[in-house]
Structure formats: C-alpha cells, structure tokens
Amino acid sequence: MFLNRLALRHYRNYEQIEITTTNNVNIFVGPNAQGKTNLLESIYVLAMTKSHRTHQDKELIGWNGEQTQLYAEIQKKYGSCKLDLSITTKGKKAKINGLEQKKLSNFIGALNVVMFAPEDLEIVKGTPGVRRRFLDMEIGQVQPSYLYDLSQYQKILVQRNNYLKQSFPGKSTPDAMLDIWNEQLAQYGVKIMKKRQSFIKKLQQWAETIHRGITNDSEALLIRYAPSFEIEAEDESVLLNQFMIKLSLVRDQEFRRGVTLVGPHRDDLLFYINDKEVQTYGSQGQQRTTALSLKLAEIELIHEEVGEYPLLLLDDVLSELDEYRQTQLIRTFQQKVQTFITTTGLESVHLDQLDHASVFHVLKGNVSGRS
Ligand SMILES: Nc1ncnc2c1ncn2[C@@H]1O[C@H](COP(=O)(O)OP(=O)(O)OP(=O)(O)O)[C@@H](O)[C@H]1O
C-alpha cells in the first residue's frame, strides 16, 4: 500500500499540515524536537488508532486544542481509501471513505504499518509485558477479531481478580462463581494463545531467513512462544480442558494472592541466537539485529496475510545500523515497501543506495520541501 496524502490538525506540535508523497522512500530531516517522530507517530495512529509511545490519547492533541484530526489517502492494490480519525479527550471517531465505523476494530487494518524505533530494542531486552504488547499490536493489525478476544479476556481477568481478592472459600469448598469465571477466562484465553502460537510460528520462519541474510549467514535466530503453561495440544477443546485443569491446580494459591496466575496475560516470547538466549547472552549489536529481523519479518508476514506490503516507518534508527545493514535494509525494501525515515542529518543516510527519495525538512511543526 502507498500513502498518497497525510493531513493533520492540532496533532502534537502540528497546527495544520498536509503532505503529499510520490516516492517510495521519504526522509524527514531536521534538528531534535521539531516534530519528526510526531509525523511517523501520526501515520502509526492512523493504522492502529493508538500511539506506539503512549497509552494516553490526550497527549496526541495539540496543547491549545480540544481535538485532533488525522486524515490519510491510501492507494491499495484494488482501489484507494480515505481514512479519517478524530481524537478528543472523551473518545475517538473513525471513518473509512466517509463512513463512520461503529467499532474501532473495523478501522484497524485499513492501513498497515511496521514501525521500527530505538525503543523496539525493549522487545528483546525489556519485560514480558513489552513483548506481549508487541504481539497484541501486530496480531491485531492483521486479525482484528484478535483484539475483540483480547478485550473480552481482559475484562474477565479484571472481574476474576476482584473476585479472588474478595472471597476466601475453604480449601475444598466448591465455588460455582469461580467455575463460571474459569470457563469464560479459558474460552477467550485459548483463542488468544492459539493465535499467538500461529503468529509466532510464521514470524519465526521469516525472521530466521532475514536474520541469516543480515548476519551473512553466521547467526541462526530462533523465536519461541513461552506460554504461562506448556501447550500440549493443537485442538481447541483439548487446550480448553488443559487451561481449566491448570486453573484448578493453582486455585488455593490464587485465592491467597488475589490474582490470576495462569493465562495469556503471563505469556512471554523468547529469542535465541545459535541456541543462546539473546536477552541474557546477546551483545548490544545482536539484540539490535534481533529486533530489526523481527520487524522485517513482520513486513513479510503482513504481506502474506493481507496480500499487500505495509508502510515501513523507521524512526531515527538508520544511524544506529552499520553501512552493510543499512544497505541490506534499503535494498530489500525500496522497490516494494513505501518507507518513511526520520533523521537529524542526511549524512547518516546512505542516499547513494537509493534510487529515488523525497526529502522533507521538518522545523518547529512545519514540513517543507520535496525533492
Ligand atoms: N501534545 C502536544 N502539543 C504540542 N506540542 C507537543 C505535544 N506533544 C509533544 N509536543 C512537542 O513536540 C516536540 C517533539 O517532537 P518529536 O518527538 O517529533 O521530535 P523529533 O523531531 O522527532 O526530535 P528527535 O530528533 O529529538 O527525536 C517537542 O518540542 C514537544 O514539546
């Protein structure tokens, strides 16, 4: 897919701007704190209805405004589409081709993006929560039904945790209420786990090949799903049963602690290079390359799932890659993936590797020039 036009109103430090793009490679250049990341973030928000760097939607609204409006025109293989998203402190409204979408999950997926930013190193180095968020955002983008399952699961989880905190049944007393929570939790939990399992399997296949390419065939990357309990079956009803058994085994412990101890809210993702865990033994460079391979694998996976390449958003990451890796990255994608790059100086981008690129200058919330 191709972003032809982007317009923003009262978005962060942009009062009102409009950008038209004609090239596959678009570079936003400017000093620090001028609005380069804000621009990439706005494209991400148009795809996911959420920012990649904050949970607080109100931060996206310009300081002097009550509401922000984002608009994009996207060219797809089979026609174009217009996306409108308005965000107020009270909520969001989303339109596709002028038609308001009752559910935001119907809007997500109209535009696909893959963002690679310095903080993505946290997917490898950070806490399991960061990896779960990565999984949720990426699966949700290609399978909006996943987001529904996830929100149902989270609601049940909160209610179940409240129940665990308030009740103190005897060790062997039957508890009909808990049985109901368990059944509902397992029902949605299994759906989430199965989708995560199949996503990671596909991601692994792409990431392994890409990682070999980036490292000149010297490193074998393995990505493993680490659910809160070992999944022994593929079949959904068997898995459901397994989940219920696990819940019954931790029942007393859960009442003592007042929290749910098994389920996808405790899942993790593990990375190995040549059989050694990257988080523990990987060098800074290996951790960064792992994150890069993961992101590039996502591009291929989205292509496989939706039949089109997503947009690639590279926020201030080119300067961190050596020339060989930059070349690999740009060569692989410049023909087929529309890419948006931010940088503080053009000297860190190997422009000679690019066939055609548009350069936009970003200064104090204004964007100018195209070449
Ligand atoms: N809600 C908001 N309203 C107005 N301005 C905002 C808002 N949120 C952030 N800003 C401003 O946006 C600017 C930061 O923009 P951004 O993060 O895009 O910078 P950048 O050009 O990517 O810089 P760097 O090169 O340092 O990453 C800051 O000056 C910040 O004060």
Band of residue 201 on the pLDDT scale cut at 50, 70, 90: very high
Band of residue 370 on the pLDDT scale cut at 50, 70, 90: low
CA of 25 to the centre of ligand 1 (A): 23
Q: What is the mean pLDDT of residues 321-346?
A: 82
Q: Which atom of ligand 1 is nearest to the CA of 62?
A: 3
Number of other residues whose CB lies within 10 A of the CB of residue 187: 17
CA distance 108 to 106: 6
CA of 365 to the centre of ligand 1 (A): 8
Fold of 1-112+308-371: Rossmann fold (3.40.50)
Q: Tell me the per-residue pLDDT of 138-152, one tens digit each, with 9 for 90 and over.
A: 999 999 899 999 999
Q: Is the CB of 59 under 6 A from ligand 1?
A: yes
Band of residue 166 on the pLDDT scale cut at 50, 70, 90: confident
Q: What is the mean pLDDT of residues 225-253?
A: 90
CA of 278 to the centre of ligand 1 (A): 33
In this model, does residue 353 exceed pLDDT 80?
no
Q: Is the CB of 363 under 6 A from ligand 1?
A: no
In this model, does residue 171 exceed pLDDT 60?
no
pLDDT of residue 329: 76
pLDDT of residue 214: 83
What's the mean per-residue pLDDT of the chain?
Answer: 91
pLDDT of residue 133: 93
The interface predicted TM-score (ipTM) is 0.97
* Burial of 264 per CB tally in 10 Å (0-12, 13-18, 19+): buried
Question: HEC string of 132-177?
Answer: HHHHHHHHHHHCHHHHHHHHHHHHHHHHHHHHHHHCCCCCCCCCHH
Q: What is the mean pLDDT of residues 95-113?
A: 94
Query: Is the separation of the CB atoms in 154 and 215 below 8 Å?
Result: no
Give the residue whose CA is nearest to atom 15 of ligand 1: 35
pLDDT of residue 327: 76
Residue 8 three-state SS:
strand
State the Cα angle at 310 between 40 and 292, rounded to 5°. Answer: 75
Q: Which long-range contacts (CB under 8 A, 24 or more apart) does 331-335 make?
A: 332/296, 333/296, 333/299, 334/24, 334/25, 335/24
pLDDT of residue 369: 78
Q: What is the mean pLDDT of residues 356-363?
A: 91
In this model, does residue 311 exceed pLDDT 80?
yes
Fold of 122-306: Glutathione S-transferase Yfyf (Class Pi); Chain A, domain 2 (1.20.1050)
In the chain, where are the structural domains located?
1-112+308-371, 122-306
pTM for this predicted structure: 0.91
In this model, does residue 172 exceed pLDDT 70?
no
Straight-line distance from the first to the last Cα atom of the chain, in angstroms, rounded to the nearest whole number: 22
In this model, does residue 31 exceed pLDDT 80?
yes
- Strand ordering across the sheet containing 79-88: 14-20, 2-11, 67-76, 79-88, 92-96, 99-100
Q: Tell me the per-residue pLDDT of 54-103, one tens digit each, with 9 for 90 and over.
A: 989 999 999 988 999 999 999 999 899 999 999 999 999 999 999 999 99
Query: Is the separation of the CB atoms in 1 and 308 below 8 Å?
Result: yes
Among 8, 29, 34, 341, residue to substitute to test ligand 1 (most atoms within 8 Å of Cβ): 34
Q: Is the CB of 52 under 6 A from ligand 1?
A: no
> Residue 248's closest CA among 149, 174, 150?
174
pLDDT of residue 222: 97
